[in-house]
Amino acid sequence: MPETTRRADRPTGSRYGNRPTMKDVAARAGVGLKTVSRVVNGEPGVTPDTERRVQEAIEALGFRRNDSARVLRKGRTASIGLILEDLADPFYGPLSRAVEEVARAHGALLINGSSAEDPEREQELALALCARRVDGLVVIPAGDDHRYLEPEIRAGVATVFVDRPAGRIDADVVLSDNYGGARDGVAHLIAHGHRRIGFIGDMPRIHTAAERLRGYRAAMEDAGISVAERWMSLGATDPERVRRAAEEMLAGPDPVTAVFAGNNRVTVTVVRVLAERARRVALVGFDDFELADLLQPGVTVVAQDSAALGRTAAERLFRQLDGTLVAPERIQLPTRLITRGSGELPPTD
């Protein structure tokens, strides 16, 4: 897209529109992005000749490492946007707060919005925040095609995806190990003697739900257990749907003896269903949640560090704004199994 069209996208002109990027420097110097980054950050591994060429390109283009950050401090209040999926899901509380703390440490305001799991809404909100001149966006994506953000990214809006990957664009992504975490959680139930294990998850088009299902399948396959279709239920996480799914798995001649709940919204409903029953059914949930340890039995969970997700994403965003990042990366954070009782119950059948 030519420069003029790009600028036309931003009605009142962009601070970033004319800012030379590391890519421009690399192109002019005829070197790779990593080399420019090394020179800019004073890292070793660059020959004196290459360094000279990079420095010349930097001077010729007027590239400045902290350009945007310095402009921010001079001009109006810096701000970054965060697009959440659901304002009422407690999982996003610590994540949002962590993003906000990093923003504040960089002198920037955080502005949030929620897509309510609607890709169109996500796009509308992301573009509305860009039109309102946020300097960067942390996105928990609802959609799987983010090419609509390309003009903004080219115009200098820093962008990091968190919790779920970006679709059809090359972008920084910070994820939990959803596959590994679910596999560990299900393997834990298998190690306690369970073979008929149910999986109740979110809608399969959601990356985290699909990855956790994949982890469930892998653990079952590792143990040589063939999975019955009726043990798996993916769909909306409203209590009615989850309750129905749990009750179906728990009924019939060969009921499941354990349930793996695909996220905290599912877990709290499954806890309710199990509390009503005499038969003890084991439970491991993905995501920790408040008071899980005070229930009886305590709920064993695969905990994500949602604050670390937010912090990592936000720090990466500000490194993009500083101009110190080179190529987009995919960062994966580990999960942690926390045993509290519900996941250690033996099968009763």
Count of positions on this chain that bind a second copy (CB under 8 A) = 39
Q: In angstroms, what is the minimal distance from the CB of 292 to a second copy?
A: 8
With contact defined as beta carbons under 8 Å apart, do 331 and 175 qualify? yes
Among 174, 261, 268, 314, binds a second copy (CB under 8 A): 268
Q: 104 or 330, CB closer to a second copy?
A: 104
Among 54, 110, 153, 249, binds a second copy (CB under 8 A): 110
Among 24, 51, 124, 322, binds a second copy (CB under 8 A): 124
- Cα 248 to chain centroid distance, Å, stands at 31
Q: 89 or 177, CB closer to a second copy?
A: 89
In sequence order, what are the residues at sequence separation of 6 or more whose Cβ sits closer than 8 angstroms to the Cβ of residue 71? 15
Tell whether residue 168 is a contact of a second copy (CB under 8 A).
no
Q: Which residue has the tokens 């928990």?
A: 140
With contact defined as beta carbons under 8 Å apart, do 306 and 345 qualify? no
With contact defined as beta carbons under 8 Å apart, do 227 and 217 qualify? yes
Tell whether residue 100 is a contact of a second copy (CB under 8 A).
yes
Residues in the chain: 349
Tell whether residue 123 is a contact of a second copy (CB under 8 A).
no
Helices (H), the chain: 3-9, 22-29, 33-40, 48-61, 67-74, 92-105, 119-131, 150-154, 178-191, 207-222, 239-250, 264-275, 306-322
Among 52, 244, 272, 277, binds a second copy (CB under 8 A): 272
Q: Is 323 helix (H, G, I), strand (E, B) or coil?
A: coil
Distance between CA atoms of residues 225 and 183, nearest Å? 13
Distance between CA atoms of residues 207 and 218, nearest Å? 16
Instruction: Give the pairing type, strands 336-338 and 300-303.
Output: antiparallel
Which of the stretches 45-53, 122-130, 252-260, 279-287 binds a second copy when contact is defined by CB under 8 A?
122-130
Among 8, 88, 191, 203, binds a second copy (CB under 8 A): 88
Instruction: Give the pairing type, strands 197-201 and 232-234.
Output: parallel
Q: In angstroms, what is the minimal distance from the CB of 84 to a second copy?
A: 9
Asked if omega into 297 is within 30° of 0 (cis), the reply is: yes
Residues of span 287-346 touching a second copy by CB under 8 A = 289-291, 294-296
Q: In angstroms, what is the minimal distance from the CB of 55 to a second copy?
A: 38
Among 111, 223, 331, 333, binds a second copy (CB under 8 A): 111
Which of the stretches 36-44, 46-54, 104-112, 168-176 binds a second copy when contact is defined by CB under 8 A?
104-112
Which of the stretches 125-133, 178-186, 240-248, 252-260 binds a second copy when contact is defined by CB under 8 A?
125-133
The contact pattern for a second copy, residues 57-76, with x = CB under 8 A and - = no contact, is -------------------x
Q: 183 or 265, CB closer to a second copy?
A: 265
Residue type, 179: Y
Distance between CA atoms of residues 26 and 24, nearest Å? 5
Which residues lie across from 201 on neighbouring strands? 234
Q: In angstroms, what is the minimal distance from the CB of 288 to a second copy?
A: 13
User: Which residues here bind a second copy, judged by CB under 8 A?
Assistant: 12, 76-77, 79, 86-90, 93-94, 96-97, 100, 104, 109-114, 116, 124-125, 128-129, 131-133, 268, 271-272, 275, 289-291, 294-296
